[in-house]
């Protein structure tokens, strides 16, 4: 079968690998859509594992069913996730799935940028869902990233009517904007350094879209009846955005730190100011099974427009081109690889 093998951000090669053989409890899935995630281009994270087949935002069709599998048959349309928690450890039982040892150890074989993927039994059991007929493969490739946003919203305890600021209007930022709108929040203010992304933020529901190099706090106050935002979601790892976020949170509000920084990066913040203002600092990673189901339901019910976010669709042989688009930004928002194209 064909696979796109990652050596580094600028070196992705189309290669041949043997068709995966499945065992008891496992599924073989023909990948129809695989989204390129911002984390796929984090070389500090990817290079130590290279060469590797990436791709974790996937959907497809069941090709083979292993012994003992219940609930899935050949031909089923499915969405699945590469990282799944055990759901039984003390972390999972207290809604801290993202620090579960099992979650960090689970993965596909080989990865979503390939024609076929073997799903280990634990992924089949806890991270694979049938698709409603009204959800396309392309839309289903958003279930995993949207699930991550759903969890972040839960951790931040977003409630209807609360004001929201989203710093960074890339893929994650636009998902946060749409999800906040679907949950009844508002007003929603978005920022970015790129004018095209500010336009996209407005198109997908932001009430105001502010250049990141402007007086963002003042812009939030103008859009929010003189107040800062009750919930601030930082969807970029850039330190200036994190500093800016602390100045955008209303008293008693919450700053959600969503995008990771590079290893070794440290950050100083005003301890007394944070304490005096009652600022809550939280963070989130991954999307447990329940959040995957919620994300799928939101997409199926058209509460979040993920199809409209796709700007480029490429075949497996053009995966390098897709990575280049994500790295360079430009007019791309979401790039989806279609391995069967």
Tens of pLDDT along the chain (341 residues) come to 999 999 999 999 999 999 999 999 999 999 999 999 999 999 999 999 999 999 999 999 999 999 999 999 999 999 999 999 999 999 999 999 999 999 999 999 999 999 999 999 999 999 999 999 999 999 999 999 999 999 999 999 999 999 999 999 999 999 999 999 999 999 999 999 999 999 999 999 999 999 999 999 999 999 999 999 999 999 999 999 999 999 999 999 999 999 998 899 998 889 999 999 999 999 999 999 999 999 999 999 999 999 999 999 999 999 999 999 999 988 899 999 999 99
The CATH number of the structural domain formed by 2-142+306-338 is 3.90.180.10
Looking at the chain, the domain(s) classified CATH 3.90.180.10 span 2-142+306-338
Rounded to whole angstroms, how far apart are CA atoms 186 and 100?
A: 33
Is residue 161 packed enough to be buried (19+ CB in 10 Å), middle (13-18) or exposed (0-12)?
A: exposed
Contact present, 230 and 185 (Cβ < 8 Å): no
What's residue 90's pLDDT?
Answer: 97
pTM, 2 dp: 0.96
SS3 content of the chain, % helix, strand, coil (to 5): 35, 25, 40
Burial class from Cβ neighbours inside 10 Å (0-12, 13-18, 19+) for residue 44 reads: exposed
Please count the other Cβ atoms lying within 10 Å of the Cβ belonging to residue 179: 24
First to last CA, the chain: 13
Domain(s) labelled CATH 3.40.50.720 in the chain stretch across: 148-283
Give CATH for domain 148-283. 3.40.50.720
Measured distance CA(337)–CA(213) in Å, rounded: 33
Report strand pairing: 2-8 vs 11-16.
antiparallel
Residues in CB range of 184: below 8 A, 6 or more apart? 160, 161
């Amino acid at each position: 079968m064909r696979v796109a093998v990652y050596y580094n951000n600028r070196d992705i090669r189309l290669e041949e690998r043997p068709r995966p053989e499945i065992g008891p409890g496992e599924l073989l899935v023909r990948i129809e859509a695989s989204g390129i995630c911002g984390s796929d281009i984090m070389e500090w994270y990817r290079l130590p594992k290279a060469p590797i087949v990436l791709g974790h935002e996937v959907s497809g069709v069941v090709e083979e069913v292993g012994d003992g599998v219940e609930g899935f048959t050949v031909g089923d349309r499915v969405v699945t996730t590469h990282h799944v928690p055990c759901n039984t450890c003390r972390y999972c039982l207290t809604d801290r799935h993202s620090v579960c040892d099992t979650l960090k150890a689970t993965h596909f074989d080989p990865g979503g940028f390939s024609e076929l993927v073997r799903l280990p039994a634990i992924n089949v059991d806890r991270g694979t869902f049938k698709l409603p007929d009204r959800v396309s493969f392309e839309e289903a490739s958003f279930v995993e990233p949207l699930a991550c946003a759903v969890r972040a919203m839960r951790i931040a305890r977003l409630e209807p009517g609360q004001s929201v600021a989203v710093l960074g209007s890339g893929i994650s930022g636009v998902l946060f904007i749409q999800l906040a709108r679907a949950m009844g929040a508002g007003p929603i203010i978005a920022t970015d350094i790129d004018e095209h992304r500010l336009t996209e933020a407005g198109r997908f529901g932001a009430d105001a879209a502010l250049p990141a190099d402007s007086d963002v706090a003042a812009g939030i106050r103008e859009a929010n009846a003189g107040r800062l935002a009750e919930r601030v979601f930082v969807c970029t790892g850039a330190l200036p955005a994190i500093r800016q976020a602390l100045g955008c949170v209303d008293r008693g509000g919450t700053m959600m730190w969503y995008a990771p920084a590079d290893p070794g990066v440290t950050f100083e913040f005003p301890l007394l100011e944070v304490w005096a203002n009652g600022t809550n600092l939280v963070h989130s990673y991954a999307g447990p099974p329940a959040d995957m189901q919620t994300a799928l339901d939101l997409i199926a019910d058209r509460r979040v427009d993920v199809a409209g976010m796709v700007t480029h669709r490429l075949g497996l042989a053009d995966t390098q081109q897709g990575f280049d688009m994500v790295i360079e930004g430009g007019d791309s928002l979401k790039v989806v690889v279609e391995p069967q194209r």
